[in-house]
Structure 1
């Protein structure tokens, strides 16, 4: 093997091992998973607009970059977040005006000019363990200029995902905004519901985002499939079984037909990562029963995706196209992971040393991460 190839392999394995190390050494007590913000918009007698937020106030006040971070350990502001998470409800409420001032300066809402929002209500849950994220209720109200018929919402950079839902009208607007994006004009009288195609294409990036970059557990599972064999036929069998299975439970979970506690699903997802990775070490090819096992694991992963959609909500009038769009985004994310893996190591796949020097060590690192996650999700 050439010195260049050896150097590339060392870099690859160093990256895999570093990922495992970061996952294993992350302090559980400081880690809080971040969820999208949800805002319900209501217009009262054409005179004022009300925004009701379900929001992680600590993340916004600490300055966590919600566009990039999946949990508070992913951001330099994690320590500030932990400090705020330890505050009592009254202490946290006292800090909310500074957030609203920043939003007003950023022209959060515009209707024939910038709207000035004031705080109507702040409800901060009490009695939760500090190990858990705290989702508060924040209500803002702004007076509307006379004759205003619509408004746009400017979601600031770094604010992460926002699900914006119009209330109290026919054919209400429902939209998904990433940090730094602006909504289309939302008519106060309603009628701004997304078309079927808009819902479909709008939810593709949502599904993709929950694979790349945020779905590390799903990424590792797909890589576990890849490292069994980089040949196309075994990979197609495995990915097809996985895709079919998680499509079924994603649909059933999103429809509310099937519901399983995430406290059970998440450890089992971690266990599935361990299984496929360890089997890669002992099996050099596709066993006849492996697609069946992967199908069963795919059912679990579909339930995990369904919990993501539960956080976002799906627009009622466009449920089916939005669900399909999300699933297409997930598949595109998985195919991108496989394409990146092929680009990095696929050209070594026919070498005699590929399995011993790439596939087995990488699978061991993946198994180590999955095993740590299983222990963390069950016992810590």
Structure 2
């Protein structure tokens, strides 16, 4: 009888481990096949110059989604829209045809891009439209257009309005001897009142708080490469001390290069930085598998990689424009947002795999917990995101890899709980997760260098 029970238990355990492996493979494929940048939604940049009588706008934007009727509010990837085919068609249009389409759509766009003075909407007249030649249609192209408006008499300040359907926009005031007003509208909305002459005094604390969500958003959900790197640090060891050493080195390094790059002291092309960031992901994943803990050189390697990631953060920050007014506050706010995002990643990772780190004892209890984790991986996660879709919250290309990542960690934890031995966590969670991290990093390296 005992033998039969033992064999039955082994079959259950084996089945759970096979199911877990299947879950991991499915989710890994989802992560690997997810585009990293081809259809990623890019924020627009608006430069506005004011005089006592007029406003001049120059906007750099990916206008194809505007014309395709895609709602970019909360969207990270245009492939997630049911209008993505139209967006791809517009990407392939020659410059003259896309310009004509944009001019035809301008009367409708005026209700979404506007100026307001004393509560009165001020009409904008479209000027030049500059569309780049068709290149790689898998990548977004940036169109630049100008618009002007005649302002009513007086010195009442101007408010810029931007519809949430058009996604995020960085607004920068130009034409002043001192630094002008800057703002980032992540989901549309309107700016503060901008003086026609002179610069608006910005509150230091408000500037800091405004840039915290910008930094956080760059990690969660947009920074999948940074998320995987941080998880690579996390999976090295179950002990707190190695994690603290690594996170401290990484934070110190990326803070330095972020500041230097933001100040214009250090400039490295994205074509160099992005492949090296992918290579850093490969390294931490591979070393996790080959090493048995924190090596003497690991913190120094992580510090060097932190310098690279800081340059990546700076390239994103440059899109929004810091300006010189309250520069330090904005830089600190962005960096705080990045740190909060990284800590959130570690916290979620810990919560997902915590059960696998513990020794519960009896095999029957282990199998029961394993079944629960596999159910979470296969049922609860899809159900939760399906619930989001029911309420109109889109599970787009930026969130799909995160959902896959959650399912992977739940599946691996289930495999660990269905196994026996002191090395269960390392063999079934830390090592497989590190291998997947390295594989995704290798895929990105090839993509960023050769594709």
Measure how far apart 1:12 and its partner are: 10
**Structure 2 residue corresponding to 1:86, chosen from 89, 92, 95:** 92
Q: Which residue of 2 aligns with 1:105?
A: 111
Distance in 2 (CA, whole Å) between partners of 1:243 and 1:10 is 38
1:9/1:35 CA distance change after superposition, 3 Å? farther
From the superposition, tell whether residues 27 and 160 of structure 1 become closer, same or farther in structure 2 (CA, over 3 Å).
closer
**What is the deviation of 1:19?**
4.9
Conserved in 1, the CA contact under 8 Å of 2:51 and 2:197? no
Query: Matched residue of 1:187: which SS?
Result: coil
Q: Are 1:366 and 2:373 matched, yes or no? A: no
177-186 or 92-101, which moves further after superposition? 92-101
1:131 deviates by: 4.4
The answer as to whether partners of 2:124 and 2:147 remain within 8 angstroms in 1 is yes
- Cα 1:49–1:253, aligned 2, differ >3 Å: closer, same or farther? same
Bigger relative contact order, structure 1 or 2, given CA contacts below 8 A and separation 6+? 2
Match of 1:349 among 357, 361, 376: 357
**Counterpart of 2:74 in 1: which secondary structure?**
coil
Q: Which residue of 2 aligns with 1:125?
A: 132
CA separation of 1:375/1:8 partners in 2, compared to 1, >3 Å: closer, same or farther?
same
* C-alpha distance in 2 between matches for 1:44 and 1:255: 29
1:257 has 2:265 as partner: yes
**1:285 — aligned with what?**
293
Contact 2:157 2:195 in 1 (8 A): yes
**1:273-327 deviations in whole A, cap 9, x for unaligned?**
1111122222232122111111111111111111112222211222222111111
CA contact (8 A) 2:52 2:151 kept: no
Equivalent pair of 1:104/1:115 in contact (CA under 8 Å): no
2:352 corresponds to 1:326: no
Structure 1 residue 220, shift from structure 2 partner: 0.5
Instruction: Please name the residue that 2:142 is paired with.
Output: 135
Using the alignment, how far apart are the partners of 1:306 and 1:58 within structure 2? 26
Classify the secondary structure of the residue corresponding to 1:218: helix
Aligned residues: 376
Kindly tell me: are residues 212 and 121 of structure 1, through their superposed partners in 2, closer, same or farther at Cα, counting changes over 3 Å?
same
Tell me the CA shift for residue 32 of structure 1. Answer: 4.1
Unaligned runs of 5+ in 1: none
Residues 12 and 59 from structure 1, CA distance in 2 versus in 1: closer, same or farther, beyond 3 angstroms? Answer: farther
Question: What are the Cα deviations for residues 196-240 of structure 1, in whole angstroms up to 9, with x where unaligned?
Answer: 222211111111110001000000000111111232211111111
TM-score, with length taken from structure 1: 0.89
Kindly report the root-mean-square deviation, in angstroms, between the aligned alpha carbons of the 2 structures.
2.8
Counterpart in the other structure of 1:337? 345
Q: Distance in 1 between matches of 2:94 and 2:187?
A: 28
For residue 316 of structure 1, give the secondary structure of its aligned residue in structure 2: coil
CA contact (8 A) 2:48 2:171 kept: yes
CA-CA distance at 1:260 after TM superposition? 1.5
Of the structure 1 ranges 260-269 and 183-192, higher mean CA displacement relative to structure 2 is found in 183-192
